[in-house]
Amino acid sequence: MLDTTALNQQRNFFDGHSSLWLFGYGSLIWKADFDYLERRSAYIHGWERRFWQGSHDHRGTPEAPGRVATLIRAQGAVCHGMAYRITPDVLAPLDTREKNGYLREKVPLTFVDGNVGDNGDAAEQSEGLIYLASDDNPAFLGEAPLADIAQQIAYAHGPSGANAEYLLNLATALRELGAEDAHIFALEHQLKLL
């Protein structure tokens, strides 16, 4: 397992800022166990959420890793989540939480006012930070048939709890946002068939 904590502490895209936006697309949507100044529904362009990252430290173990969300590039895609305005001191505990292969990256994000489908006036945008587990990190598991991913999720359990809980909580949180996510909802369906 690669611990990315030290690497992330060198990735200071927002040096000198008193606050910054953090975009959560996985457990950060529903498990904000950190202090934040503001929370807003938001989305990012060009990314899709996938359960392709291994979890050896939260939702699984080194012997039996779980699967958690990461992002893959996808032209024209929209990924909905939750944006948190945080102070820079919140990054240190987040770096520890996301240490299993995730690196800080800077992305443009768009805030959602009202429901996800609304296309009102020009949407407010900002630069934000994501934690991204790319395909070159040691914990990346990659694509697999949905039934196989669901099977792995069904049986994985780690210090943060059951892997199935992570998936089900994420699916619920996305519905509460009014967001569509074919991959997450198909995985949820497969899990419930087991």
Hey, which residues are catalytic here?
98
Q: How far apart are CA 110 and CA 128, in angstroms?
A: 9
Q: How far apart are CA 47 and CA 70, in angstroms?
A: 10
Count CB atoms within 10 A of the CB of residue 15: 7
Residue type for 117, please? G
| All residues at 6 or more sequence positions from 110 whose CB lies less than 8 Å from its CB, including other chains | 42, 43, 44, 45, 123, 124, 125
- Cβ proximity of 165 and 179 under 8 Å: no
Cα angle vertex 106, ends 121, 182, to 5°?
65
3-state secondary structure of 63: coil
